[in-house]
Chains A and B, each alone.
Chain A
């Protein structure tokens, strides 16, 4: 009997509990789903401030470039805030707060960070590094209608407005880089034999695709050998030996692995094969790759860039570079000269966002996205001559123009002709 009365009470409790829960759930969702009204401000923006989120690898193997992505943003907006904030298109001056989240290059954590951002009320996500991590919450960002913009991945999907209405890539897609070198080669009138070694994934294929498109019309250029390797391979000696046998005088090496790039340079010298060499922007660091690989042995090592390199003596007195390094030190707690271009890229992203903010007449994400796609011919600080930000072209990232450069023993110098 005792038990039965207890069970009765239990059923009662459950019933009351469920009723309460249902009532509560009705309330809890009602409040935050009213974002459809265009007049109401989106989350993360007030009359005096705007909050940006970034999820990026701050731990693990990619932590170096990842830390740079946050430092660049902090440097730019730290300086802007210290100068009083940014005046938006609606006449209000706002300070910019950057909230960083570490995803350790783990897609699952990137999604978790995005969910946390939504709950923390950030206005937009920006500048995050990594293809899988950005892809992991691309669809969630579309669902939530949260901008995921100026992200640092060469994956073309982020710049396809049909597929990614709330996204935009910042850095050139792989094809852009490959075609820049192809175009340079096509200006040469001498006959060239090209050997290609590429990473067997979207990265390598993107480079090769861009390169082949660019040389399609040039009858003086012949591709004599094509090899691939896997991103997990520890040696490409076999492929290099094969390619050396073709006697090519130009070597297009779409490689993203630092140690492999060094050993490839060394192996080719060992084989006595000395072609002109092309390397992608992320594996062309003078200090980390070309010097250990003794790249001066080759007639020319080419790469592409769109940012001024602070290490390069040519830019040491440049006002952009001086300001950038000072801001990085003062506002981003990053006292060294950055070894990764991502610091510069994030700084440019900050400048690009400021352009968009100045055009925003409504404090909404909708208006932000509209204005985001209207920036053109903008020369962000640190950008090389001949490159600019253009967000108006569907299918292209914000920066799609790159400058081909040639290694001169210490740094890079711009080139307009091959040879």
Chain B
């Protein structure tokens, strides 16, 4: 064990792993079947949305039930830009920035409230968003929605549409995840963690909880906007139903199941959000909600820290199954250096603390 950890800690080896991941991501769209590509594309869309939610909720402890509003906003801005023939890069920037600004304005007001009051404000977002999208029918297409096709593969690439869309999603998702990882591992991440842990302590250390909550909320909205852009890449159509409140709850569930306060967990949350409905459809299309509920409960019972804690749980079980003294000690020394692969441990407190923080966030 410790030898693998030392090996992994080496700079070149880590670089090589990153390289391999990049190469695999570059090749994957070319070799996978169409439906796998399309599924991966959708996973990317929601992984970014969950990542944003994780920044505000998992890392900063501000309960947000309105993330889908920003996804929808980003989607509508994208649709508007495409319909009006904006440059596609400009459309992407506009989707992110516009959502970010709206998020900032809302956060400036909402973050003044404490605890669950913020959650109440964020609940209002999708509830206002749906009728708003219906009423502003000149821009949004009303309840019939608006479709915007801009993500078909250009001829020069020689790619199929699903491959091209997956490349766009991989690129933006990768950027978002690297940015998210750097954010929560750096100065801001530490400030978020203190604000989440104890606001009084944060103040005493010169960290303004208000300012960092606003920052986290704005970043979450920004990621939501990016996710909305990706939504249009993948779906090419948006309607008021996109903003439906129940999707917001699903996003929160996906975040908790993936792993609150974890970057890898955000990705797993995206996987959950997309794959579970598909899987339950295969079981019995008449029982999707029930089987989704069962899966959700089973995961939360077995893995309270989310899917991301699965390797840890397996290691613990393996250790119990094979009790020799050496194993335990080794495990203890191994943990810190292996941060390279499990970034989630770096920023947030370890999974054991998740439950506690969950409760604190709602207090």
Contact = CB atoms under 8 A, between A and B. Distances in A.
B235 A136 contact: yes
Nearest to A54: B285
Interface stretch (B77-85, B210-218, B236-244, B349-357): B236-244
A17 B143 contact: no
Contacts of A416: none
Interface in A209-250: 230-232
Interface in A111-132: 111-113, 115-116, 118-119, 131-132
A17 B215 CA distance: 42
A135 B237 contact: yes
Contacts, number: 139
B30 A21 contact: yes
Interface in B1-59: 10, 12-13, 16, 19-20, 23-24, 26-27, 30-31, 33-35, 38-39, 42
A3 B42 CA distance: 38
A139 B236 contact: yes
A59 B143 CA distance: 20
A10 B20 contact: yes
Interface string A339-360: 0000000000000000000000
A18 interface: yes
Contact of A132 (B26, B135, B144, B285): B144
B288 A59 contact: yes
Contacts of B192: none
A119 B33 contact: yes
Interface in A83-122: 100-102, 104-109, 111-113, 115-116, 118-119
B277 A109 contact: yes
B92 interface: no
B27 A58 contact: no
A135 B147 contact: yes
A93 to B, nearest CB: 27
A116 B238 CA distance: 20
A226 B335 CA distance: 71
B285 A101 contact: yes
Interface in B126-180: 130-131, 134-135, 137, 142-145, 147, 149, 160-161
A105 B16 contact: no
A60 B246 contact: yes
B288 A104 contact: yes
A59 B34 contact: no
A201 B143 contact: yes
B16 A6 contact: yes
A132 B30 contact: no
A155 interface: yes
A376 interface: no
A7 B27 contact: no
A331 interface: no
A25 B31 contact: yes
A155 B142 CA distance: 13
A24 interface: yes
Given A105-B241, A107-B239, A18 B288 contact: no
A24 B28 CA distance: 11
Contact of A115 (B16, B35, B160): B35
B83 to A, nearest CB: 14
A22 interface: yes
Given A10-B20, A136-B237, A3 B160 contact: no
A42 interface: no
Contact of B286 (A102, A109, A118): A102
Contacts of B278: 112, 116
B143 A231 contact: yes
Contacts of A29: 160
A139 B237 CA distance: 9
Nearest to A230: B131
Given A17-B23, A131-B143, A136-B235, A115 B38 contact: yes
B247 interface: yes
A85 to B, nearest CB: 24
B222 interface: no
B40 to A, nearest CB: 11
Contact of A58 (B19, B137, B288): B288
B41 to A, nearest CB: 10
A336 interface: no
Given A102-B288, A230-B131, A18 B23 contact: yes
Interface string B219-251: 000000000000100111111111010110000
Given A104-B288, A106-B244, A131-B143, A139 B149 contact: yes
Contacts of B240: 132
B123 to A, nearest CB: 15
Contacts of B288: 58-59, 102, 104
A10 B24 CA distance: 13
Given A10-B16, A230-B134, A132 B35 contact: no
A28 B30 CA distance: 9
A201 B137 contact: yes
Interface in B283-300: 285-286, 288-289
A25 B166 CA distance: 15
Contacts of B308: none
Contact of A3 (B12, B27, B231): B12
B42 A106 contact: no
Contacts of A231: 131, 134, 143
Nearest to A29: B160
B286 A67 contact: yes
Contacts of A131: 143-144
Contacts of A203: 143
23 contacts: A17-B23, A17-B27, A18-B23, A22-B30, A28-B31, A58-B286, A59-B289, A67-B286, A100-B286, A101-B281, A101-B285, A108-B42, A108-B242, A112-B277, A113-B281, A115-B35, A118-B35, A119-B33, A132-B143, A132-B144, A132-B145, A139-B147, A201-B137
Which 6 residue pairs across A and B have the least CB separation, nearest first? Answer: A119-B35, A132-B239, A25-B30, A21-B27, A232-B131, A59-B289
Given A102-B288, A138-B147, A231-B143, 8 more contacts: A17-B24, A25-B31, A106-B247, A111-B235, A115-B35, A139-B149, A157-B144, A230-B131
